[in-house]
Amino acid sequence: MVNRRNLILGVGGTLALMGAGAAWRVTRVPQKALQPWAQAGVTELDPRLDAFRHAILAPNPHNMQPWQIRLMGDDQAEISCDLARRLPHTDPFDRQIVIGFGCFVELASIAASRRGLKIEVDAFPEGAGEERLDARPVARLRFVAEPGLAADPLAGFIRDRRSAKVPFDLARPVPPESLAALQTTSSDLIRFDYSRSHNETEALISMASTAFEREMRTPHTLRESIDVLRVGASEIDANPDGISLRGPFFEALSVLGPDKVRDASNDPQSAETTRQIDRYRQIFAQTPRFVWLTGLGNSRAHQLAAGRSYLRLNLLTTRLGLGLHPVSQALQEYPEMAPLFAEARRLCRVETGETLQMLARLGYAAPVAPTPRWPLEAKLIRA
């Protein structure tokens, strides 16, 4: 039988150990999870591997990294979607997942240009599911030598690119010449635009904050985020994807068990949910500009093109020393969000037949840490 004194000592001892553990862990940052950012700097013999070591650093919804890469022959690759890595509650038509693939393909192309290679993209070569993606490939890529091809000037900024989920400096407005430089992200399928006045920016801040709250207070969409929370360095290293919670506070909590943190966060009306909503309301309030990409349609080709434009936007802002932060809640196509979806379209001057593909905050920010990635090897499918 356990004697009461031993039990108390036991619990005390465990707590002391947990305390020591927490003290050790607060100094920890994920190790393995950040290695792919360094590995992208290593030159590979096979230029396709070089390109894909960069492509896996692409921004993508909830950092789910849904890509699967199959090398074919000497100069081709097929990219497909790991269908289990989609986010059906907030992205019921896989629109945002396809945007992430557009970012991936653009990064591969930019990286390949450094080796004098152009990537010919055959998008959805076997057709695409209109409502949902399916097992058919997202793209076939052919790497073609192009004599005299110059390296893309954005290639040098790939490893510094971030999604800046932080407050921006309201004392430093975005210079008009920077906004003009971003216009180059428009294409024949995509139109770049931005908030043109203080009033327009304020209206978007208010709309984005309400949309964020709507997502957090809606049980099934909150649950989708909670399911991919990774709490503390150990869990992030073991699962380098999803929404990672880092830093001393979460390291200490992770000692109690990540599942406890997830359970505590899963109530739309809890104090913790309200705290997160307030935190994001404050972040959104510190936004000097919004920028957005409107698709002139909403086909899979438009979504892929939106991703390619967004990636260039993100690299251009990196080059300009600006932070860029997507705020997608109001763009998402589920019933509870419908009124805010309509409001976002109105505020962003979206015409009938067009689709708001990306909306993002823009401004100057303090440096932001890179997010976790699975290594390329985890994404390669052996034929």
Ligand X SMILES: Cc1cc2nc3c(=O)[nH]c(=O)nc-3n(C[C@H](O)[C@H](O)[C@H](O)COP(=O)(O)O)c2cc1C
d(CA 118, CA 307): 18
Closer CB to ligand X, 232 or 372, in the complex: 372
Q: Which stretch binds ligand X (CB under 6 A): 6-14, 55-63, 81-89, 113-121?
A: 55-63
Which residues are CB-contacts of 70 (< 8 A; sequence separation ≥ 6)? Answer: 77, 78, 79, 80, 380, 381, 383
Supply the minimum distance, in Å, between the C-beta of residue 266 and ligand X: 19
| Residues facing 192 on adjacent strands | 293
90 is a site residue for ligand X (CB under 6 A): no
**What track of x and - describes contact with ligand X for positions 103 through 122 (by CB under 6 A)?**
x-------------------
Q: Does residue 323 touch ligand X according to CB under 6 A?
A: no
Our finding on whether 165 is near ligand X (CB under 6 A) is yes
Query: With contact defined as beta carbons under 8 Å apart, do 76 and 68 qualify?
Result: no
CA–CA distance, 178 with 364 (Å, rounded to integer)? 12
Count of residues that interact with ligand X, criterion CB under 6 A: 18
Residue number with CB closer to ligand X (317 or 371) = 371
Q: Looking at beta carbons only, is 175 or 247 nearer to ligand X? A: 247
127 conformational bin, left if phi > 0, alpha if psi -120 to 50, beta if neither = left
Q: Does the footprint of ligand X cover residue 337 (CB under 6 A)? A: no
Least distance to ligand X, CB of residue 7, Å: 44
By the rule CB under 6 A, 328 interacts with ligand X: yes
Q: What is the DSSP letter of 353?
A: T
Is 162 near ligand X (CB under 6 A)?
yes
Residue 327 in the binding site for ligand X (CB under 6 A): yes
Nearest CA-CA partner of 348 in 216, 211, 249, 218: 211
Question: Using the 8-state DSSP alphabet, how is residue 380 labeled?
Answer: B
Closest CA to 358 of 346, 368, 348: 348
Angle between helices 271-285 and 258-265 (to 10 degrees): 80
- Say how far residue 313 (Cα) sits from the centre of its chain: 14
Cβ proximity to ligand X, 308 vs 325, nearer residue: 325
Residue whose beta carbon is closest to ligand X: 59
Contact between 313 and ligand X by CB under 6 A: the answer reads: no
Between 56 and 75, how does the x/- string for binding to ligand X read (CB under 6 A)?
Answer: ---xxxxx------------
Give the binding site for ligand X (CB under 6 A).
59-63, 96, 99-100, 103, 162-163, 165, 325-329, 371
